[in-house]
Structure 1
Amino acid sequence: MGFIKLTLVTFGVLYVAALSGMYVFQRDLQYFPSRHDPAPEAVGLTGVERVTLATPDGETLVLWYSPPAEGRPVILFLHGNAGAIADRADRFAFYQTRGYGVAFLSWRGYGGSTGRPTETGLLADAKTAYDHLRSLGFAADRIVLVGESLGTGPAVITAAQNPVGAVVLEAPYTAAVDVARRAYPWVPVGLLMKDQYRSRDHVALIQAPLLILHGEVDRVIPFGFGQRLYEAAKDPKTFLSLGPVGHEALFTSETWSKGADFIDGLYPR
Structure 2
Amino acid sequence: MRKRVLIALAVAVTIVGVVFGGAFAFQRKLIYLPEAGPLAGAADVLPAGRDVTLTTSDGLSLGSWYFPVSGAKATVLVAPGNAGNRSYRVPMARALTARGLSVLLLDYRGYGGNPGEPSEAGLALDVRAAQDFLVREAGTPLIYFGESLGSAVVTELAVERPPSALVLRSPFVDLASVGQRHYPFLPVRWLLRDEFPTRDDVARVKAPVTVVYGAADSIVPAEQSRAVARAAGAETIEVPGADHNDPALSDGPELIGAIAGAVP
Contact persistence 2:33–2:84 (CA under 8 A): yes
Change in CA separation of 1:212 and 1:50 when aligned onto 2, cut-off 3 Å: same
Superposition deviation, residue 91 in structure 1: 1.7
Write the letter of the residue equivalent to 1:12.
V
**Superposition pairs of residues 44-59 of structure 1, within 5 angstroms:** 44-59=45-60
Tell me how far 1:182 sits from its aligned partner: 2.2
Would you say 1:27 and 2:28 are equivalent positions? Answer: yes
Q: By how many angstroms is 1:216 displaced?
A: 1.7
CA contact (8 A) 1:40 1:86 kept: no
Matched, 1:135 2:131: no
Structure 1 alignment gaps of length 5 or more: none
Deviation at 1:43, TM superposition (A): 5.7
Separation of aligned partners in 1, 2:199 and 2:38 = 33
CA RMSD of aligned residues (A): 2.0
Quote the offset at 1:122 in angstroms.
0.2
Q: In structure 1, what is the Cα distance between the partners aligned to 2:262 and 2:190?
A: 41
Report the counterpart of residue 163 of structure 1 in structure 2: 162
- What's the CA shift string for 1:125-159, capped at 9, x where partnerless? 001101111112535xx100111111111011111
Are 1:265 and 2:255 matched, yes or no? no
User: Does the 8 Å contact 1:127/1:158 carry over to 2?
Assistant: yes
The more displaced of 1-10 and 124-133 is 1-10
The secondary structure found in structure 2 opposite 1:197 is: coil
Q: Secondary structure at the match of 1:135?
A: helix
Paired residue secondary structure (2:124): helix
Deviations 1:67-98 (A, max 9, x none): 13425100000011111001222222111111
Letter in 2 for 1:243: P
Quick check: 1:242 aligned with 2:239? yes
| TM-score of the two chains, using structure 2 as the length reference | 0.92
Distance 1:15 1:68 in 2: 55
Q: Give the 3 Å change call, closer, same or farther, for CA 267–88 of structure 1 in structure 2.
A: closer
> For the residues of structure 2 that align with 1:170 and 1:61, how far apart are their CA atoms?
23
Give the 3-state SS of the residue equivalent to 1:147 in structure 2: strand
Report the equivalent of 1:252. 248
CA contact (8 A) 1:160 1:206 kept: yes
Distance across 1 between alignment mates of 2:61 and 2:16: 39
Q: How many pairs align?
A: 263
8 Å contact kept, 1:74–1:102: yes
Q: Please give the secondary structure, in 2, of the residue aligned with 1:101.
A: strand
Q: TM-score, structure 1 length as denominator?
A: 0.91
Shift of 1:266: 4.2
Q: In the aligned structure 2, how far is the partner of 1:255 from the partner of 1:205?
A: 28
- 1:66 deviates by 1.4
DSSP-derived class of the 2:196 partner: coil
Q: Which runs of 5+ in 2 are unaligned?
A: none
1:68 & 1:206 partners in 2: Cα distance?
28
In 1, the alpha carbon distance for the partners of 2:262 and 2:24 equals: 44
Q: 1:8 to 1:216 in 2, by over 3 A?
A: farther
In structure 2, the residue matched to 1:78 is: 79
Amino acid in structure 2 at the alignment position of 1:242? V
Alpha-carbon distance in 1 for matches of 2:104, 2:69: 10
Equivalent pair of 2:35/2:113 in contact (CA under 8 Å):
no
Identity among equivalent positions (%) equals: 30
Contact 2:42 2:50 in 1 (8 A): no
Deviates more, 1:155-164 or 1:187-196: 187-196
Change (3 A) 1:263 1:21: closer
**Relative to structure 1, is the Cα distance of residues 70 and 43 closer, same or farther in structure 2, using a 3 angstrom cutoff?**
closer
Distance in 2 of aligned mates of 1:198 and 1:104:
23
Residue 74 to residue 256, structure 1, CA distance change in 2 (3 Å): farther
- 1:47 partner letter: A
The whole-number CA distance in structure 2 between the counterparts of 1:259 and 1:124 is 26
Greater shift after overlay, 99-108 or 201-210? 201-210
Classify the secondary structure of the residue corresponding to 2:46. Answer: coil
Distance 1:101-1:179 versus aligned 2 partners, 3 A rule: same
